[in-house]
Amino acid sequence: MKKIEAIIRPEKLNAVRVALDQKGFSSMTATEVKGRGRQKGIALQWRAGDYRVEFLPKVKLEIVVDDKDAETVIDAICDTVQTGEVGDGKIFVYPVEDVVRVRTKERGCTAV
């Protein structure tokens, strides 16, 4: 199994949820986070002068899937959130050792 952790623009969360739902992936965890990438936040101009916002609001989406489904999920996320502008986000992929469905104590892939 793999955990797909996608840092995306908050306004894209609902579209990703719909796209993944349509492909049969309904379970996920979304967390509001603050992040910065290569551009180190964003430079803004205001009447009082220039200033920099060091962290931007992002959403972290975590989805655990069977190995065979990982590429499908990664593709669906990329296709949904990509604008071509800086700050589109990033996806990290981790191996997952085990999963337990607490209600039934099912383990592994059947518990995902």
Interface positions with ligand ATP (CB under 6 A): 7, 35-39, 56, 58, 86-90
Please choose which of Mg ion, ligand ATP, none residue 56 contacts, taking the beta carbon within 5 to 8 angstroms, the exact cut-off set by kind.
ligand ATP
Residue in the shown chain whose Cβ atom is closest to ligand ATP:
35
Q: Which residues contact 8 (CB under 8 A, 6 or more apart)?
A: 16, 58, 59, 61, 77, 81, 88, 89
Q: Does 39 bind Mg ion (CB under 5 A)?
A: yes
Could you tell me the two tokens for 78?
């990329």
Considering the complex, state which of residue 37 and residue 108 has its C-beta at the smaller distance from ligand ATP. 37
Q: Which residues contact 65 (CB under 8 A, 6 or more apart)?
A: 1, 2, 4, 25, 73, 112
Considering the complex, state which of residue 21 and residue 54 has its C-beta at the smaller distance from ligand ATP. 54
Cβ at position 8, least distance to ligand ATP in Å: 8
Angle between helices 13-22 and 70-81 (to 10 degrees): 140
State the residues that interact with Mg ion by CB under 5 A. 37-39, 86-87
